[in-house]
Structure 1
Amino acid sequence: MWFRTRLSALAGALLSASVSVLPANAQQPAAVPATIPLTITNNSGRTGAVYIYNLGTNLATGQQGWADAAGTFHAWPAGGNPPTPAPDASIQGPASGQSTTIRLPKFSGRVYFSYGQKLVFKLTTGGLVQPAVQNPSDPNRNILFNWSEYTLNDGGLWINSTQVDTFSAPYAVSVNGNTTGHLKPGGYNAVYNSLRNTGWGGLIQTAPDGSVLRALSPLYGVETGALPANAMDDYINRVWSKYTSETLTVTPFGDGTKYFGRVAGNVMNFTNSSGAIVTSFQKPDSASVFGCFKLLDAPNDQVRGPISRTLCAAYNRSTLLTNPNQPDPNSTNFYQDAVTNQYAKTIHTQMIDGRAYAFAFDDVGNHESLVHDANPQQSALTLDPLS
């Protein structure tokens, strides 16, 4: 799979297209071209080479591969076991203060960028091996890099600024001038300082010279021991206690459909308006909350998945104790408990528009850093200052 399991909601959002019914005499939207321009502007202030990669799945064929600067698709060759080196898919990026334009094809994929060094990609018999910097032996561990996820299809372009896996070299994205992802002035360093001040500084990875490379997501923090495995347990326990005697109402859609949750023993059962149990959740652990998976698994269905998405967002935002009706529509209520996702809190705080993809279901309530246009003419990725 191109997207990891815990990013399935994001992948679904990127791959979906809005459906509307137009009057018979209405002008039909223009067909989305086979490729559109992506202008990459280097405002990082950092000297040295920048390398760009456009990797993903060809939506016409389902093949995995890469696109060159002109947007021409190249399928990956067969991989091996152990993994074999992938072809060099790098595109020379812009120097500081300059811009480079490439073409995006109809892909579901990622645009990577790296500073100073090319990224190392390998191929297994199952496809491309993505960088996994939570692994200290990953060959990309000491390279400063980041990526944006996008889908271009007949429904238009969806492109995001994501921090689901890591917070690293900052950037913003735009489609037809609609932009998201810019940090406040000084926001890059402010994120790291906030993590240190809240006791989450163990998430920060540095290069051999001591320079900061990134902060791992709290899920990776738990998995690597950089964050205590019980980081959210106190909050989870209080939620479990509250809904033993109270009802949690989840309204995951805009159509008024409601589900009602009550805890009995180690299980939270959800019923529909007829009183029938439609799904149940065991008491989650911190990893399940941070990763929106495992005990908060969200299948691509119309019942359990939407309930789980809502629960996961509410746990990460710490709104379940203050509001028994979820999702909470008021972002001023988010992250107010002493036990909360400090990583997500500080990233949202430092974004100019307050929007971020700090965990997999940050799109609940439309708080994610994602832009979409059904008629994309221009897109952009801006590399922002590392300060």
Structure 2
Amino acid sequence: MFRLLRRSILTVGTAVATVLAGSLLTAGTAAPAGAAEAAVPATIPLQITNNSGRGEQLYVYNLGTELSTGRQGWADASGTFHPWPAGGNPPTPAPDASITGPAAGQSTTIRMPKFSGRVYFSYGQKLVFKLTTGGLVQPAVQNPSDPNRNILFNWTEYTLNDSGLWLNSTQVDMFSAPYSVGVQRADGSTTTTGRLKAGGYNGVFNALRGQSGGWGNLIHTRPDGTVLRALSPLYGVETGALPASVMDDYVNRVWQKYATSTLTVTPFGDRPDIKYFGRVSGDVMNFTNTSGAVVTSFQKPEASSIFGCHRRLDAPNDQVRGPISRTLCAGFNRSTLLSNPNQPDSGAAGFYRDSVTNHYARAIHAQMADGKAYAFAFDDVGNHESLVHDGNPRQASITLDPFN
């Protein structure tokens, strides 16, 4: 299974644009090699079906890192890779990488190369991409001056390599234009995820509007009144839409509980013998291993650390702190740390039950047909993510779903 990272490998942070903090599949923890590898061709078909019911022109972009060379660029409809030219400071316009998408009720098939990247799609307008000396600047609609702020768009994330395809829907940065993803296996069977229930699109926005405490402030509308998206609570905190203290009460109760009791973390489902034990001392939660040695410590987190799974809950790609942090991050977002001292909590029925929780994630999961989503960076803890994978994919699919 691939590890989901907080930072996009498509983008390098600059002083002139905010880098998206979306989860992106990377090849750092690839599945073991197998006989299926030789069967994965250089490109596979990606069928894009437009069931949105919208009449605007659709534009599609396939942007990413070419895994064989590490170069950043885009793929055209045939799957041919084009490296980005050198950028500038200030940023210079990127080449037009758009592919004309299918009209409502129709499908188009393009080719996916061996990338770790994103497939963007936008309605009615092309997206604005620019290049700095460090790489591609992606849309950052939490910034009021971003040129894409009033465009209706979304993206999916994928890695295709010699070990197969990993393709997911994501709401880590925002909830917007609805879509689902799928893979067709060599035997012709298909697996899909990411589809909302009937009425689920409006249901998410209505849940946010009805939630006290500023959650409705996450919703962005265009000047003509069109609802465009709901920002993630991380961006809500960063922009002042949500109060910075929104998670303080829950954190305080967690800290109080584990000052006198132990939080047990078993981060690897396939290695139940590896356990870590957390106890609070002052503003720090120390974790010891089974030998009693302290292996890592966490400062008392605030909302940004929790919603972003970063800062005080940073998760390096190691075998100790990262896995513990991922588990803590999931527990805080799902508000399960008080109800279950053995983490991760595998039962979704107990998620988001506290009055202080990630109500954005709660609303999204509640409206998913299969209950699965990437509503925060480590929503894959316990396998609650909206991801399809196959080691020998025949075809991938993205279906643009109705706005209802």
SS in 2 for 1:215: strand
Distance in 1, Cα, partners of 2:266 & 2:72: 37
Deviation sequence 1:69-106 (CA, Å, 0-9, x none): 00000000000000000000000000000001100000
- Report the 3-state secondary structure (helix = DSSP H, G, I; strand = E; otherwise coil) of the residue aligned with 1:295: helix
Output the TM-score relative to the length of structure 1: 0.96
Could you list the per-position Cα deviations for residues 324-383 of structure 1 after superposition, in whole angstroms to 9, with x for gaps in the alignment? 000001110000001000000010000000000000000000000011000010110000
Alpha-carbon distance between aligned partners in 2 of 1:313 and 1:381, rounded to the nearest angstrom: 27
Other-structure match for 1:92: 100
* Aligned partner of 2:271 among 243, 255, 260: 255
Counterpart residue identity of residue 217, structure 1: S
Aligned partners of 1:207, 1:72: CA distance in 2, in Å?
35
Q: Which residue of 2 aligns with 1:197?
A: 210
Aligned residue in 1 for 2:15: none
Measure, in 1, the Cα distance between the counterparts of 2:121 and 2:262: 47
Partner of 2:243: 228
Match of 2:14 in 1: none
CA distance in structure 2 between the aligned counterparts of 1:114 and 1:185, rounded to whole angstroms: 22
Supply the AA of the counterpart residue of 1:73: F
Give 1:295-374 correspondences, 5 Å limit: 295-374=312-391
Instruction: Give 2:299's match in structure 1, choosing from 278, 282, 296.
Output: 282
How big is each residue's C-alpha offset from its partner over 1:98-152, in whole Å with a ceiling of 9 and x where there is no partner? 0011000000000000000000000000000000000000000000000000000
Alignment correspondent of 1:64 = 72
Structure 1: 5+ residue stretches without partners: none
For the residues of structure 2 that align with 1:271 and 1:363, how far apart are their CA atoms? 24
Root mean square deviation of aligned Cα:
1.3
Matched residue, 1:169: 177
Residue 80, structure 1, aligned to residue 94, structure 2:
no
CA separation in 2, counterparts of 1:155 and 1:63? Answer: 20
Q: Does the CA contact (< 8 Å) of 1:268 and 1:281 recur in 2? A: yes
Aligned residue among 187, 190, 194 for 2:200: 187
Superposition map of 1:198-217 within 5 A: 198-199=211-212, 200-217=215-232
**Partner amino acid, structure 2, of 1:326:** Q
Aligned residue in 1 for 2:16: none
Distance, in Å, in 2 between the alignment partners of 1:146 and 1:112 is: 6
Distance 1:298 1:35, change over 3 A: same
Matched with 1:380 is 397
Give the aligned length. 380
1:2 Cα deviation from its structure 2 partner: 2.2
The question of whether the paired residues in 1 share the 8 Å contact of 2:48 and 2:102 is answered with yes
SS across alignment from 2:204: helix
Instruction: Indicate which of 264, 269, 280 corresponds to 2:286.
Output: 269
Q: Which residue of 1 aligns with 2:126?
A: 118
Cross-structure match for 1:244? 259
Taking the aligned partners of 2:39 and 2:317, their CA distance within structure 1 comes to 28
- Paired with 2:126 and 2:305, the residues of 1 have a C-alpha distance of 33
Q: 2:310, 2:21 → 1: CA distance?
A: 6
Residues 42 and 94 in structure 1, CA contact (< 8 A), matched pair in contact too: yes
CA distance in 2, matches of 1:251, 1:88: 47
Distance in 1 (CA, whole Å) between partners of 2:283 and 2:217 is 31
% of aligned pairs identical?
74
Asked if structure 2 preserves the Cα contact closer than 8 Å seen for 1:132 and 1:138, the reply is yes
2:6 is matched with which residue? Answer: none
Secondary structure, in 3 states, of the residue corresponding to 2:207? helix
Q: Secondary structure at the match of 1:244?
A: coil
| 1:140 and 2:148 matched | yes
- Aligned: 1:47 with 2:60: no
For 2:169 and 2:197, locate their aligned partners in 1 and report how far apart those are by CA, in whole Å: 15
Q: What CA distance in whole angstroms lies between the structure 2 residues aligned with 1:214 and 1:86?
A: 25
Asked whether the 8 Å contact 1:6–1:293 carries over to 2, the reply is: no
**Which one-letter code corresponds to 2:326 in the other structure?**
R
CA contact (8 A) 1:6 1:292 kept: no
1:17–1:156 CA contact under 8 A, matched in 2: no
CA displacement at 1:48 relative to structure 2: 1.7
Taking structure 2 as the reference length, the TM-score comes to 0.92
State the AA in 1 paired with 2:143: N
Deviation at 1:28, TM superposition (A): 5.4
Letter in structure 1 aligned against 2:56:
G
Mapped partners of 1:248, 1:48: distance in 2: 52
* Deviation, structure 1 residue 282: 0.3
